[in-house]
Amino acid sequence: MYSLSQERPDDLWEVEALYDLCFAPGRTLLSSYRLRDGVPPVAELCRVAKDEAGVIGGVIRYWPIRIGAAQALLLGPVAVHPTAQGEGLGAALIRDTLERARDLEWGRVLLVGDEPYYRRFGFAKIEDVEMPPPTNPERVLALELRPGAWSGVTGTVTRKT
Ligand SMILES: CC(C)(COP(=O)(O)OP(=O)(O)OC[C@H]1O[C@@H](n2cnc3c(N)ncnc32)[C@H](O)[C@@H]1OP(=O)(O)O)[C@@H](O)C(=O)NCCC(=O)NCCS
């Protein structure tokens, strides 16, 4: 049984270890990490799933980004411990935080990931919004939390300064 809560400062190393376990070495060299450099994550949307013993089995973080003058959320990284995968924990973390993001009046969410997984949450490939290279455009997916929020938003994603 897992419960979701906001990531706390003393969760940091356990969270980083979980990301290291779940992603290929060199994950921080991905272009999406350049959008996170020196920018604080959105604290209310950085959530962990802890078991009864307080051990973290899943984690999600979000960063603010810009596309021209438009603001958006960058979802991720999201990771679930290999021993807990396939039990709905990833979906629970994603659904919980998207609901919170809507409540916090964010309108747009972007991510780089597998469309076959993320389409169940409403994400779809977005045209004319480019992540910094090298990023496969097929993996750039977007979700509207407010109807029409992505209309007319085009260009290159940049770091929120
Ligand atoms: C991706 C991840 C967060 C999903 O978390 P999870 O708790 O295992 O997922 P859920 O239990 O919510 O969903 C499981 C379902 O998603 C599917 N799924 C998982 N990863 C998938 C992927 N990359 N592409 C397509 N489907 C995927 C599973 O096959 C399963 O399908 P089913 O419901 O038909 O049985 C987790 O597998 C993980 O940490 N993977 C390694 C890190 C990673 O790839 N993170 C995402 C970066 S884009």
pLDDT digits (tens, 9 = 90+) for 80-114: 999 999 999 999 999 999 999 999 999 999 999 99
| Residue 113 near ligand 1, beta carbon < 6 Å | yes
Spans in the chain with pLDDT lower than 50: none
| Residue 23 near ligand 1, beta carbon < 6 Å | yes
* Total-model pTM: 0.97
Sign (positive or negative) of CA dihedral 98, 142, 120, 75: negative
Phi, psi at 98, each rounded to 5°: -65, -40
Give CA separation, 133 vs 76, 83, 90, 157, 158, in Å.
18, 33, 27, 10, 11
Helix, strand or coil for residue 11? helix
Domains of the chain are 3-159 (3.40.630.30)
Q: What is the mean pLDDT of the chain?
A: 96
Residue 60 CA, ligand 1 centroid: distance in Å: 13
Whole-number Å distance between alpha carbons of 57 and 92: 12
Note the pLDDT of residue 161: 82
Ligand 1: atom nearest CA of 120 is 16
Ligand 1: atom nearest CA of 111 is 48
